[in-house]
Structure 1
């Protein structure tokens, strides 16, 4: 299937197909322009790198690989400098296309490097993790982390194309698959209760490797995100902000755990979504049964449904302090994604942070 992100002159296709990595040259050869393509990846993705480079070589396209260390720590100033220097050494031009092969970390870092290299060059997303395939590879959000918080230094820079091969998930560790699944569940919780019910019925099969379930979830998620991005590319009208469900709580949990493997991004988002629904229920916004249903499904999927399961024991005041560095702060207020029910997420700009801290202290206890 091919899905289009409709952004006028910045529109681009998202191709979803099993075995696509081995046939990626069909899409990349026209972009290569007879030049050497730079491929940026990490150590964990070497088998997929071999497949991609073999496909390009067979099509007569030379490539150079830049292999970085895996993990969230790679989204840093130091690695950004290393990457841009390497791309300049390779002679990358503004009209060249750099390939980002890997998960969300590689996609975010490469996208930001391409946004600033020579005032902007092109890149192609080839996501190899479930989280990247259903979320971070689409939409043009690129960034690195700072000491103050996650994704605070970045730019909107759309890819020229996204190539999604669900078969790359065969080598994905189960924990990474579960982390990506959290972002799939998110689309049901935002505005699609029928899809959340589908997740409840089919999530276990998807995580067990069922190919049909994977493709349905990926296609449904990407279609939803492409529609929202097309409506609100730069998150100025509030519609795209709905995609941040669970992220305000989740980023605070990631900050508290040092952006480390203690808590993966998708795990933090899962805990954050459970907390957002629990807080909504406490505030009388949604039924307690809805919040319990969300937490139960996340737990059934092997994801954390709260603070303790996320391995976080910080008090509410500490976690709220992390939230104050959120890039969505506006005139001293922090918008929260809350819910009136499953599939009824909305943006609330009037949340009392003292109430959030008290809620988190109670949840901790």
Structure 2
């Protein structure tokens, strides 16, 4: 699935550019008709200087990569043949092949889920008392490992829907467009995560339970960014911070902050309901404490590192929450990453 999403990105960029070109020509034609000026024939003029291309989607385009000779494979050992780049095919052919490959991957997900068997079914109410959550009754399974497997399965389903050939290359735009088809998956992830959460958050966790809570965070992140109800959003942020407090895995608190950032970005773009931050002002990490919303506000000199004179660490220079993963189109253009 990840390989498909990466290979299909150049084709989506071609579709995006073709649509922008068509829209620009349509606007020019409309303006010319209104002013009575004949439209200009021929291809549009482009500036002589090439501007750096913005980043669309989940990661920047690495460009042409040359593998070192030591990592190359001999022809008789080569198990994978790289596909023909979509730029060398017509857009119609590349799109048709991408849709067929996506359908095959979706079918593989179906086969996998159908092969899990009854041991992966949720426990009935007679084995575990139902717990009410903003997503519905919590789902419990025979083991934490089974619950985590299913969280990753539904997370993969969400990513697969957002990677459809018909989706835009911008990740945050794909989140909104795919929301109707991924809504049930996101709700199911919330119900499974609720079943993993400890009933009493003041009781110490055993390592197996703590590991399951940490493993569930990534699935809750991919599902949480599309939650729209305040109850579901509040539950997600609270539980993610509980994981950070109970396990010491502070990445969970950053995931909670990333969800809040995604909700604010969606509201600012008019694609979601309003949201108010609930940051932890006492947190040591500036990103968790909310001591600045602009990424440039974190580009300050390193803080006191407790006299570690030979180590320079600036937490602000790390990836600003999930902006590289779920930034809106304007953010990508401002970053100017080639």
Q: Tell me the TM-score normalised to structure 2 length.
A: 0.26
Greater share of residues in strand: 1
Q: Answer 1 or 2: higher relative contact order, Cα 8 Å, separation at least 6.
A: 2
Q: Tell me the TM-score normalised to structure 1 length.
A: 0.24
Q: Which has the larger radius of gyration?
A: 2
